[in-house]
Structure 1
Amino acid sequence: MNKSLKIYVYPHPQDDPFKNVLLPTDYDPRGNFASELYFKKALMKSHFVTEDPDEADLFYMPFSISPMRTDHRIDVHGIPDFVKNYLTNITQKYPYWNRTGGADHFYVACHSIGKIAFNKAFVAKLNVIQLVCTSNLFSQSYFAHKDASMPQVWPRQDDPPNLLTSERKKLAFFAGAVNAPARIFLLKVWANDTEIFAHSGRLPTPYSEQLLGSKFCIHAKGYEVNTARIADALYYGCVPVILANQYDLPFTDILNWKSFSVVVHERDIPVLKRILQGISSEEYAMLQSNVIKVRKHFQWHSPPIDFDAFYMSMYELWKRRSVVKVRS
């Protein structure tokens, strides 16, 4: 993949009125949806990009969802119109889309609003490869056989913490907005427990203290199946507990999630403590050891390094390319 994958990025003039949407920004990625910008900035400086569309395996449409939703000219409700117009422009100016109906094209989005991007281009929705954080299998906009899930990662500049000094005295930890049935159920059952620390809303103390002080860190579905909690847990050496039905987990066709996490159906929340306490010390040691091994895949770097989130995402795209190239 590293030697052979080639991607053609649709060009646009530097004076394009929507260059804030089409070009990588000059500031460092930040916030909950930074993965989208990390990917774009890394790709544009990488050896994967080719100026020869005839050698391209894939075609990248470099519009960014996060800047769209905050641009007053587009706004959330205007995203489908922007994308529809974008597709009209590239299909009229270039021949590449029409050769495959967009099946060798892709876009990247981390914000959940990205799922509406192709609402006014139905055929494109069926064909285009989506590399997204919001990989909800229950949604009508995500198709696991063609789309791919990437992790939502909160930006960090420092090296991962020294886990040898952490004492994990709590069994499990969750904190967050109570904005979905799974979280409501979780808090209802475990809010007053002494071993499972389940907290509604923001913590008054740093999250890192709880992440370093707990054996298991709970990822419970909120408005969407994805949050940065899984990457947070891995970063601090805490074994993730996945409480999000219908979540196509990041890199799920590459990594064995059972080897470093615990996946629990939402209906089993009442027996969550029994499930976690039933994991032996030896099993837990294996899970946490694998957490340390895989956390490099859930980190972004600038420039990227081998096996980090960028290269893992590129590998997902490589797996979805066609083995037959259609040339002009």
Structure 2
Amino acid sequence: MAPSSLLLHFSQRRLSHSTRGGFFFVPTTLALLTSLLILFYLFTTSNIFFLHYRHQHRQPSLPVEKPGLPSSGGSRTPPVTGRSFPVSLDGAAGSSPVEKSPGVGGPPVAGESGDRGVNAGQHGSGDRIKPRGDHVNSNDVYHNRDVFEKDYREMNRSFKIYVYPHRRDDPFANVLLPVDFEPGGNYASESYFKKSLMNSHFITKDPTEADLFFMPFSITRLRHDPRVGVAGIQDYIRDYVANITRRYPYWNRTGGADHFYVACHSIGRSAMEKASEVKMNAIQVVCSSSYFLQGYVTHKDASLPQVWPRQGDPPNIMSSKRNKLAFFAGAINSPVRKKLVKAWRNDSEIFAHYGRLTTRYSDELLGSKFCLHVKGFEVNTARIADSLYYGCVPVIIANHYDLPFADILNWTSFSVVVTTSDIPLLKRILKEVSSDKFSMFQSNVMKARKHFQWHPSPVDYDALCTVMYELWLRRSIVRVPLTASFGSN
């Protein structure tokens, strides 16, 4: 090959290599520069790089004082007869000024969280920022005080209930009419509801103006009636629904979606097995309210607080020397209670007792900082209401409990919710609650307790009125297509 040809050949090869390298280098450089520009943009505009710094150095927000609401020292409103009553939201003596809570937070699901102590480990002011920028004080006893107060006024003014009428000479008057004595026992909420409702201004005798229709049968009294008993409750309910569908047009308009009944005894969860339209369409106001209970539909149905009735206020609630860290006493009728007693029965700070107490139950509640609500046969017991009544912070150990009034009350502000699997860590969880946090819990206990008290004639914001509010939230009528099976069982 001639020298000139060799020179040309090697020149072309060199040019070819440099061109290929250049084509490789240019896009790589552009991609690198683009990535650097994107990172620079994110660094200067995003919160990602500053989140840790802001979390550690954020100053606690000051509570926002809300003007215009009454102070906490207000007195109870007298009983009502045939008219709505004035609103006074805070009625606990000696509580802190009302704080504004513009945002709505969700209630804790008892036992749903995988964290150790759902709300016991929270520190700081309890304030947070909602995604839309609203300031929320999660230490308030209500999710949204303003919304609740406004809606409560409207409910109190306009809400009407029609009760299916029954004569005093009805063979089952004992089941259908209010009791003529003071209700008592573990399932008193069922009788108190009917007794208090019939003495309230929510009752209307005109079904055309009714928002909801109440089927007044008592599951507890059916259970104890020798003509019915546990075995006959399902047949009784089936026949009752068939009877009202034949005699009245109201059920058939909605398939029962604007009807409700109340049951506190756990037998109520199976009482509707032969009246499936009641279980699926009507509102079930029940004590045994579990997210995993067959037949209980969250948001359609409502959780009724189980309350052991007591008269007046106990003495020395705030001044009691609460020397015990936590207290439980009761029958060992569930694996959860067995686990609790096994773990803590010999502890010097957590008093976990089974069998009959040698001391007064009330003294133990008054002498403990935390009182344990532990699942028995059902998720519900009267121990939450007991705790609130005696000023003791409730600790809820009952997985999947749809807590009473969860639409209204911010349970994380006055209780500790613990998963059953964390029972061995219970002492550690409770000891992590600072003195300031405990003071906040106890202050809110005093504000929440009025919602768990029954009265023969309703008192503003008591248990009856709060259940009425829960029903008012569910008052919208859903038109259910009727089928030939309705009322034919």
Percentage identity across aligned positions? 68
Contact 2:199/2:458 (<8 A) preserved: no
Deviation at 1:246, TM superposition (A): 1.0
Please tell me the residue identity of whatever aligns with 1:254: I
| Pair 1:127-2:274 in alignment | no
Contact 2:254/2:479 (<8 A) preserved: no
Aligned to 2:215: 61
Contact 2:199/2:456 (<8 A) preserved: no
Please tell me the residue identity of whatever aligns with 1:204: T
Judged with a 3 Å threshold, the aligned counterparts in structure 2 of structure 1 residues 323 and 93 are, in CA distance, closer, same or farther, namely closer
Aligned to 2:427: 273
Contact 1:110/1:132 (<8 A) preserved: yes
Aligned to 1:100: 254
Matches within 5 A, 1:57-96: 57-96=211-250
Q: 1:244 aligns with which of 371, 381, 398?
A: 398
| Pair 1:302-2:443 in alignment | no
Aligned to 1:187: 341
Q: 1:16 aligns with which of 153, 156, 170?
A: 170
How many residues matched?
A: 326
CA deviations on 1:193-247 (whole Å, 9 max, x unpaired) are 1110000122121111110111000000000111110000011110000000010
Deviation at 1:306, TM superposition (A): 0.4
Please tell me the residue identity of whatever aligns with 2:288: T
Matches within 5 A, 1:18-57: 18-57=172-211
Give every structure 1 segment of 4 or more consecutive aligned residues whose post-TM-superposition deviation is greater than 4 Å.
323-326
Larger Rg: 2
Deviation at 1:39, TM superposition (A): 0.7
Please tell me the residue identity of whatever aligns with 2:436: E
Deviation at 1:325, TM superposition (A): 9.8
In 1, the alpha carbon distance for the partners of 2:237 and 2:474 equals 22
In 2, the alpha carbon distance for the partners of 1:194 and 1:209 equals 17
Please tell me the residue identity of whatever aligns with 2:337: R
Moved more, 175-184 or 115-124: 115-124
In 2, the alpha carbon distance for the partners of 1:57 and 1:169 equals 49
Deviation at 1:253, TM superposition (A): 0.9
In 2, the alpha carbon distance for the partners of 1:297 and 1:284 equals 21
Please tell me the residue identity of whatever aligns with 2:253: R
CA deviations on 1:160-192 (whole Å, 9 max, x unpaired) are 322233100110000100110110110111111
CA deviations on 1:250-291 (whole Å, 9 max, x unpaired) are 101110000000000000001010000011111111101100
Please tell me the residue identity of whatever aligns with 2:369: K
TM-score normalised per structure 1: 0.97
Aligned to 1:316: 470
Which secondary structure does the structure 1 equivalent of 2:370 belong to?
strand
Deviation at 1:323, TM superposition (A): 6.1
Deviation at 1:312, TM superposition (A): 0.3
Q: 1:260 aligns with which of 406, 414, 422?
A: 414
Please tell me the residue identity of whatever aligns with 1:147: D
Please tell me the residue identity of whatever aligns with 1:22: L
In 2, the alpha carbon distance for the partners of 1:73 and 1:164 equals 48
Which secondary structure does the structure 1 equivalent of 2:314 belong to?
coil
Which secondary structure does the structure 1 equivalent of 2:369 belong to?
strand
In 2, the alpha carbon distance for the partners of 1:117 and 1:182 equals 26
Aligned to 1:200: 354
Aligned to 1:285: 439
In 2, the alpha carbon distance for the partners of 1:111 and 1:58 equals 23
| Pair 1:212-2:354 in alignment | no
Aligned to 2:160: 6
Judged with a 3 Å threshold, the aligned counterparts in structure 2 of structure 1 residues 220 and 203 are, in CA distance, closer, same or farther, namely same
Deviation at 1:124, TM superposition (A): 2.0
Deviation at 1:324, TM superposition (A): 8.0
Matches within 5 A, 1:88-167: 88-167=242-321
> Any stretches of 5+ residues in structure 1 without a counterpart?
none
Contact 1:150/1:250 (<8 A) preserved: yes
Deviation at 1:129, TM superposition (A): 0.3
In 2, the alpha carbon distance for the partners of 1:20 and 1:110 equals 17
Contact 2:324/2:367 (<8 A) preserved: yes
Which secondary structure does the structure 2 equivalent of 1:209 belong to?
helix
In 1, the alpha carbon distance for the partners of 2:169 and 2:425 equals 58
Q: 1:235 aligns with which of 374, 389, 404?
A: 389
In 1, the alpha carbon distance for the partners of 2:166 and 2:362 equals 42
Contact 2:318/2:391 (<8 A) preserved: no
In 1, the alpha carbon distance for the partners of 2:407 and 2:346 equals 37
TM-score normalised per structure 2: 0.65
Contact 1:57/1:325 (<8 A) preserved: no
Deviation at 1:304, TM superposition (A): 1.5
CA deviations on 1:64-113 (whole Å, 9 max, x unpaired) are 11110000000011111000000010000111101111000000111111
In 2, the alpha carbon distance for the partners of 1:303 and 1:123 equals 32
Deviation at 1:123, TM superposition (A): 2.4
| Pair 1:178-2:332 in alignment | yes
Contact 1:190/1:197 (<8 A) preserved: yes
Please tell me the residue identity of whatever aligns with 1:3: R
Contact 2:405/2:466 (<8 A) preserved: yes
Contact 2:197/2:458 (<8 A) preserved: no
Please tell me the residue identity of whatever aligns with 1:129: I
C-alpha RMSD of matched pairs (Å): 1.3
In 1, the alpha carbon distance for the partners of 2:351 and 2:455 equals 32
